[in-house]
């Protein structure tokens, strides 16, 4: 009888121990589940973080953008030799070198042109000039000027200044008279565009012995250096 009582007590004690252990296991499992739920980001939080990363990348890309005016996608900055090598990779052919300037020929905006790279006394590129030679006729030269003026207005907005007149005493009427005035330097067709990176000047001009359309890109920062260098030499 005594042995039976002892066996029953052992069974009861075992059941109590199992119940206590099982309860503690459930509590631990519940705590782990709650901890995991707290640590894991919600899908909405993940989307927000992704958007922040994308915005950061856009800002970094914008910050890395050149602060200089560009010609053919090339920033007007750095050494004249480096700029010249980039022009060559764009299909331009070197013609000659004079003082601090280098002359090229090639295609720009769909026109065959001569390109002049101008630099400071220290050799930093400050401006680029493209000259599109026209035929010995006023009308096609004026047409090219108007086409480029329209395209530049679409890109840079309203011109900061525009002067289109002849400086001769008698204003020419026919195309032949207008071309005659141009060839003698009595034509003042100039449109100027201003940007925070520099100035673009479009004009009908005479270069050497040729008449045509000139387009000058002047970088703001480096043109200031060029002007300062000139003042130092005066």
- Note the pLDDT tens digit of each residue in 14-33: 555 444 445 444 544 554 44
- Percentage of the chain exceeding pLDDT 90: 59
φ/ψ (deg, to 5) at 117: -100, 120
User: What average pLDDT score do residues 98-124 get?
Assistant: 90
Q: How would DSSP label each residue in 66-126?
A: -SS-EETTEES-SBHHHHHHHHHHTT-EEEEEETTEEEEEEEETTEEEEEEEEE-TTSBEE
* pLDDT, mean over the chain: 80
Alpha-carbon separation of residue 170 from 90, 132, 178 (angstroms): 44, 27, 11
Q: Is the pLDDT score of 84 beyond 50? A: yes
Q: Is the pLDDT score of 4 beyond 60? A: no
Q: Is the pLDDT score of 102 beyond 60? A: yes
Going by pLDDT thresholds of 50, 70 and 90, the confidence category of residue 88 is: very high
- pTM for the model stands at 0.70
Q: Residue ranges of the domains in the chain?
A: 2-64, 70-233
User: What average pLDDT score do residues 159-172 get?
Assistant: 95
Q: Is the pLDDT score of 72 beyond 80? A: yes
User: What average pLDDT score do residues 183-212 get?
Assistant: 95
Number of DSSP helices (H) and strands (E) in the chain, helices first: 6, 10
Per-residue pLDDT, 227: 85
Per-residue pLDDT, 226: 85
Residue 138 CB-half CA count within 13 A: 16
């Amino acid at each position: 009888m005594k042995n039976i009582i002892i066996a029953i007590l052992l069974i009861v004690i075992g059941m109590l121990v199992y119940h206590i252990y099982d309860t503690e296991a459930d509590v631990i499992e519940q705590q782990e589940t709650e901890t995991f739920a707290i640590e894991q980001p919600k899908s909405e939080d993940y989307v927000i973080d992704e958007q922040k990363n994308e915005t950061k990348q856009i800002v970094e890309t914008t910050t890395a953008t050149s602060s200089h005016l560009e010609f053919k996608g090339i920033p007007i900055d750095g050494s004249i030799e480096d700029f010249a090598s980039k022009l060559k990779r764009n299909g331009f052919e070197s013609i000659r070198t004079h003082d601090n300037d280098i002359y090229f020929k090639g295609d720009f905006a769909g026109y065959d042109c001569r390109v002049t790279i101008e630099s400071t006394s220290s050799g930093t590129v400050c401006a680029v000039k493209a000259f599109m030679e026209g035929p010995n006729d006023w009308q096609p030269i004026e047409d090219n000027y108007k086409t480029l003026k329209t395209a530049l207005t679409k890109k840079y907005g309203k011109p900061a200044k525009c002067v289109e007149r002849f400086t001769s005493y008698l204003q020419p009427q026919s195309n032949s008279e207008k071309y005659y005035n141009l060839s003698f330097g009595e034509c003042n067709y100039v449109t100027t565009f201003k940007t925070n990176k520099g100035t673009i000047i479009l004009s009908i001009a005479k270069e050497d012995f040729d008449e045509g359309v000139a387009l000058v890109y002047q970088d703001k920062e480096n043109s200031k250096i060029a002007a300062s260098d000139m003042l130092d030499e005066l």
